[in-house]
Copies of this chain bind each other. A is one copy, B any other.
Amino acid sequence: MEDFDFIEMKVPAKAEYVGVIRLSISGIASRMGFSYEAIEDLKVAISEAATNVVAHAYEKKEKGELTLGFGVYHNRLEVMVSDQGDSFNFAEIKDRIGPVTSVDDISPVSQMREGGFGLFLINALMDKVEINNEYGVIVLMTKYLDETEVDVNEQVQANQ
């Protein structure tokens, strides 16, 4: 079996802890030898996933938890961001996420989206992304230390 280190972190699903998560991820990634650029990508992608938990997961509850798992492999970092909150329907949100250049956005400025960039950025900045939203939401993201290792067939996968 492939050997790896596992780091787990649980924080309250509150905005003020997203910055703490960012510091932890930069520590892990810099220790692994990721480049400055890759560390910045990781910080954004993981913050996006964490921000979604803070913003969307526990809308109907008073509070909830955000769980992070880091799988440190010799050639890659896997990060799992999960919650036990509301889930979402991928087909439903598909039309309101993505870059502004997509067809949906040829619309007057006043109708421009102010959101919907989070999942898109995660997918743009990480090498592999899997989302599971059967119960709560689990976002599993992978970034390789050496970019040439990325399998070009690996794209966002939604399992629902």
Report A's interface with B, CB cutoff 8 A.
5-12, 14, 16-17, 19-20, 22-24, 26-28, 31
Contacts and interface: CB of A to CB of B under 8 A. Distances in A.
Given A23-B26, A24-B23, A27-B23, A8 B5 contact: no
Contacts of A5: 11-12, 14, 17
A22 B20 CA distance: 11
A7 B7 contact: no
B31 A19 contact: yes
Contacts of A7: 9-12, 17, 20
Nearest to A69: B10
Contacts of A23: 23-24, 26-27
